[in-house]
Amino acid sequence: MTTLHDRRTLNGMVNDSAEQLTTVFLALADPTRRAILERLTHGEASGTELARPFSISVPAISKHLRVLEHADLILHRKDGRTHQFRLAARPLKEAATWLEHYRQFWEAQFDSLDTYLLATEEEEQDIDDPSSPS
């Protein structure tokens, strides 16, 4: 039997997890942030290196980096005056796990639709060809 404290702790963990997932998806919604993450799959980079391919201001890149850091998608360290960033895999893995559940659901739905369409097609062929044995 669980105590009220245990339930509150569990509910807090579920809520924290749901909030974290929302934060991750909001961060991933922007193409610039996705491009930054893509760059970081090749290794650590400075803020200057990450900003180079974009035609936006340094403050705008800094804002994107803060959003990614808030979502725990990147880790940040200071090396002298240089800020270094690297990818943090855990939140992406959690998002992928969540999406995988829905991928399996939709594959099952598409398999059911395919079965239905094949059966319907066979029925229509039987109606169109009265000489075929039923």
pLDDT digits (tens, 9 = 90+) for 73-103: 999 999 899 999 999 988 888 898 888 888 8
Band the pLDDT of 69: cuts 50, 70, 90: very high
Count of positions (residues) in the chain = 134
Domain that holds residue 112: 4-128
Residue 114, domain member (yes or no): yes
pLDDT tens profile 97-129: 888 888 877 887 787 887 888 888 877 777 766
- Residue 89 CA, chain-centre distance (Å), reads 11
Flag whether pLDDT at 54 surpasses 90.
yes
Residue 119, domain member (yes or no): yes
User: Whose CA is closest to 82, among 51, 42, 112, 113?
Assistant: 51
pLDDT tens profile 34-49: 999 999 999 999 999 9
Q: The pTM is what?
A: 0.67
C-alpha dihedral, 109 to 110 to 115 to 120, nearest 10°? 100
User: Whose CA is closest to 89, among 102, 75, 105, 100?
Assistant: 75
Please report how the helices 31-40 and 4-28 are oriented relative to each other, as an axis angle in degrees rounded to 10.
100
Output the domain CATH number for residue 12: 1.10.10.10
Quote the number of domains for the chain. 1
Average pLDDT over residues 12-21: 69
Residue 134, domain member (yes or no): no
Residue 100, domain member (yes or no): yes
| 83 Cβ contact partners less than 8 Å away, ≥ 6 residues apart | 46, 47, 76, 77
Judge whether 68 and 37 are in contact, CB under 8 Å. yes
